[in-house]
Amino acid sequence: MTAPSAILFDWDNTLVDGWEAILRGLNATFAAHAMPAWSRDDVLRHVRRSLNDSFPALFGSRWEDARDIFYREVRACHLEVLAPLPGTAAMLAAAGAVAPLSVVSNKQGPLLRAEAAHLAWNGHFATLVGAGDASADKPAAAPLLLALERMGLPPGPGVWYVGDTVLDMQAARAAGCRAVLLGQAEHDGGVAAAAPDAVFMNASALRAHLVSLDRPAPIG
């Protein structure tokens, strides 16, 4: 199998575990609005869309106040609780030897880029596109297309978008890219609901596949 022309990655629950910050931010916001708290499992089941797409439905006319509370809480703790998922560092090293890499996330752009800098991962990625950076957020194609534009590459099936949710697979297909599921989408209806073009159990399985791919012969 031929190597991809580029690999775009989702961020949370694909490359990193940042759920604790999201949980704290949501529960601080819920408490301020006299709403019930969520568990970590609730967050894993329900957090998919960007804040700008999801908070109006949750908080109605109060959503902008809720946004400010959420981001204040998240900014206070997100770097402290952030952790790479197992095997991710080695997988990114292998992926970067195969194709140029970028990140497309529904996490707010400045938070996303701060987390990549905190992990000293900026060198892996040509660009990091977060919520609010493109004209629309995932599942729209716009953020993936923006990342590829910045990379100077066209969309197409040679581009992989690697994520962990049904929404990620929808975004990949909307952009005309190969939809690659990492994990089993346990909190999102499973692999059948995601309907990916390819699926890998974890970062180590993806790394093993990447190092096995045929690569173009060097010129000269």
In terms of pTM, does the model score above 0.75? yes
For the segment 110-129, the average pLDDT, to the nearest whole number, is 97
pLDDT band at 220 (very low <50, low <70, confident <90, very high): very low
Which pLDDT score is estimated for 2? Answer: 81
What own/partner pairs with CB < 8 Å and gap ≥ 24 does 111-117 have?
111/71, 111/74, 111/75, 111/78, 112/11, 114/78, 114/79, 115/11, 115/16, 115/18, 115/78, 115/79, 115/82
For residue 125, what are the β-bridge partners? 101
Contact criterion met (CB below 8 Å) for 195 and 173: no
Residue 206 lies in a domain: yes
**Residue at which a domain ends, from 57, 81, 105:** 81
Please state, in angstroms and rounded to a whole number, the distance separating the CA atoms of residues 189 and 110.
30
Residues 36 and 125 in one domain: no
pLDDT per residue as tens digits for the range 83-117: 999 999 999 999 999 999 999 999 999 999 999 99
The number of folded domains in the chain is 2
Residues 39 and 91 in one domain: no
Domain hosting 143: range is: 6-17+84-212
Instruction: Kindly state whether residues 32 and 50 are assigned to the same domain.
Output: yes
pLDDT tens for each residue of 33-65: 999 999 999 998 898 888 999 999 999 999 999
The one-letter code for the residue type at 5 is S
> At how many degrees (to 10) do helices 63-81 and 19-32 cross?
150
For residue 187, being part of any structural domain is answered with: yes
In the structure, what pLDDT confidence band is assigned to residue 216 with cuts at 50, 70 and 90?
low
